[in-house]
Structure 1
Amino acid sequence: MLQAAHLLLQNSFQLLMPCVLCGIDTQRKHSLCEDCWNSLPWLKTPVLRQEMQILAACHYGYPIDRIIQQFKYEQHLHYQAALTGLLRNLKYPKVHAVVPMPVSLEKLTERGYNQSLLIAKGLAKHLKVPVWQPVMRLQQHSQKGLSRLERLADIQQQFVIDGKPKVHYRKVLIVDDVVTTGSSIHALKQCLAQLGCQQIHAVCLAAAE
């Protein structure tokens, strides 16, 4: 009863807050106003990358590209509710755990957080499943000048299983912010397959060409 009253009060308060994107109209959907939410470059369909179907919420175009960049690199964490809302707006197969795209310790120190982990937590809560992080990522560096095969091999070597995970899940969902070539998701998928995952799905906030 008390929890329901708190949720109602919280929702009512949000309706009085301005949209985090335009700052003009009031919040209606995941911290955005109705117009901003509807004007996002929605995709809501899978894209094929590295022979894998990856569900994408949006095209990587304005304004979602700017939102993701500011969330990822400029610590604009007030966009977290909106970005999590994009993923909550999609339909998923049944999974046992959510796996955020790992970042290297170097990137984590530089940014202060893993942006994929932040949105994965919100999605995991929505799906009522745990967040699982059995894979770590080694140092990420520039791939300028490398061929396609060299880039794929380099990315594959960045992902390693973190010791011996105490728990294992058969059906998992990888969560990433932006997919371009799909190489990182493919590399993470390979590690998860080694851990016995039988069904590996993936979702991203936006898909770039």
Structure 2
Amino acid sequence: MKTIDTVHALIQRIIQPCFPCQLCGIDAQQSHSLCQQCWQQLPWLKDTILRQHRPIQIALNYTFPIDRIIQSYKYEQQLHFQNLLTQSLISLNLSQVQAIVPMPISTERLRERGYNQMLIIANRMAQQFNIPVWQPVLRLAQHSQKGLSRVERMQNIEQQFQIIKSERRKYRKVLIIDDVVTTGSSVDALANALEKLGCQHIDIACIAAAQQ
């Protein structure tokens, strides 16, 4: 019986080749692209914080190595981290929603990076949850906040998010996703725009939370 089990295990290894962990490069990666030890040693938070009077579910603290991973994924086109970051969000106790809304980026930022990092993750999550990705809000160019008062900064961010008037789809219960939350101003502005579209229940989940 042992021999049969051993042969079966070898066959499974051949059919499903093992890839090294994306962090340590030693042990075999699991479904989240890390080995089990590296996954467990990430700076997990898995808690809900309050920003701009809105509850936000957070997967991780924005410390090493997740800060470097997010920066590499976002600014250095290290797209192989997309599965790890997607799975960190999926590991949260997310409620059922009708659609996923990724944080939009401006056309200028899209030209610089070549992709919206959160749209990639939203597409992966949508596929797993079998729900649509919804992008009914545009983000205009981001201007410098230097020299502005707190109220002026808030108004500046609010004005960046513009509803697409031609959008016909409507969802009442949605999930906003973003990579890093600090003050929460951006997710709050996006949520305000979605409320104007008739969304009645808006969940927010971020990969990591940074100190304010």
Name the structure 2 match of 1:12.
16
* Identity between Structure 1 and Structure 2 (%): 56
Name the structure 1 match of 2:178.
176
Cα deviation, 1:90-136, whole Å, max 9, x if unaligned, reads 11112100000000000000000001111111112222210000000
Asked if structure 2 preserves the Cα contact closer than 8 Å seen for 1:88 and 1:126, the reply is no
Cα distance in 2 for residues equivalent to 1:10 and 1:149: 60
Matched residue SS, 2:59: strand
Cα distance in 2 for residues equivalent to 1:40 and 1:181: 23
Displacement, 1:19? 0.8
One-letter amino acid of the counterpart of residue 186, structure 1: D
Name the structure 1 match of 2:7.
none
Q: TM-score, normalised by structure 2?
A: 0.91
One-letter amino acid of the counterpart of residue 57, structure 1: A
Asked if structure 2 preserves the Cα contact closer than 8 Å seen for 1:169 and 1:197, the reply is yes
* Residue 118 (structure 2) pairs with residue 116 (structure 1): yes
What RMSD in Å do the two structures reach over aligned CA positions? Answer: 1.5
Alignment of 1:190-201 (within 5 A): 190-201=192-203
Name the structure 1 match of 2:54.
52
One-letter amino acid of the counterpart of residue 45, structure 2: L
Of the three residues 149, 152, 155, the one matched with 1:150 is 152
Asked if structure 2 preserves the Cα contact closer than 8 Å seen for 1:176 and 1:203, the reply is yes
Cα distance in 1 for residues equivalent to 2:168 and 2:13: 40
Pairs aligned (count): 200
Q: TM-score, normalised by structure 1?
A: 0.92
Displacement, 1:10? 10
CA distance 1:161–1:20, shift in 2 (3 Å): same
Cα distance in 1 for residues equivalent to 2:166 and 2:203: 22
Of the three residues 56, 69, 85, the one matched with 2:87 is 85
Task: Single out whichever of 140-149 and 101-110 deviates more from structure 2.
Answer: 140-149
Name the structure 2 match of 1:61.
63
Q: Give the unaligned 5+ runs of structure 1.
A: 1-7
One-letter amino acid of the counterpart of residue 163, structure 2: I
Asked if structure 2 preserves the Cα contact closer than 8 Å seen for 1:29 and 1:37, the reply is no
Name the structure 2 match of 1:28.
30
Q: Give the unaligned 5+ runs of structure 2.
A: 1-11
Matched residue SS, 1:47: strand
One-letter amino acid of the counterpart of residue 64, structure 1: I
Matched residue SS, 1:92: coil
Matched residue SS, 1:78: helix
Asked if structure 2 preserves the Cα contact closer than 8 Å seen for 1:98 and 1:124, the reply is yes
